[in-house]
Amino acid sequence: MVEKSTGEAFAIENNPRFGSQAAMFIGNSNMAENIIGTSTKTVYPDLKVGTYNIYNDWFRLVWPEYYGYDEDLGLWLPNRLVNFANSVFFKHELMLDGDDIMPFIALGYIQTFNLLFSNY
């Protein structure tokens, strides 16, 4: 989506996943105020390192035919294991962050509950 008045582009997902939305919280200590408060300040993620989602990368490792990307298909298991280890040791995990547990709580207790309830 492009804001007509400023020409600024925004990434919008038709089916937003919590993991991709959690990237917005990284490096923004006042994110809650920007979401529920009266702030009109535009907020951007502060990504100094790559990010990953442990749930997504685990399934890429064990079941690449269904959850992997094109580059995962046909990779030998040890190669996929090296890719998984690289993510775990050198990237920022979006959900399981010891400094901020709110994304993990929101995923497990808010989003999952809402998805299950809406399909009941």
> What was the pLDDT predicted at 114?
75
Condensed to tens digits (0 to 9), the pLDDT of residues 67-105 reads 878 888 888 999 999 999 998 898 878 777 777 777 777
Q: Which helix (H) or strand (E) holds 48?
A: none
> What was the pLDDT predicted at 82?
94
Higher pLDDT pick, 90 / 7? 90
> What was the pLDDT predicted at 3?
76
Condensed to tens digits (0 to 9), the pLDDT of residues 50-67 reads 777 788 888 889 988 888
pLDDT at 4 over 70: yes
- The tokens for 75 are 């990779």
- Cα dihedral 46, 104, 13, 15, rounded to 10, equals 170
Q: How far is CA 38 from CA 34, 42, 81, 119, in A?
A: 7, 12, 45, 33
Higher pLDDT pick, 73 / 41? 73
Is 0.85 surpassed by the pTM of this model?
Answer: no
Cα–Cα dist 111/18, whole Å: 8
Q: At 17, phi and psi to the nearest 5?
A: -100, 150
Long-range interactions of 59-62: CB distance < 8 A, separation 24+: 60/84
pLDDT at 12 over 70: no
Q: At 97, phi and psi to the nearest 5?
A: -105, 120
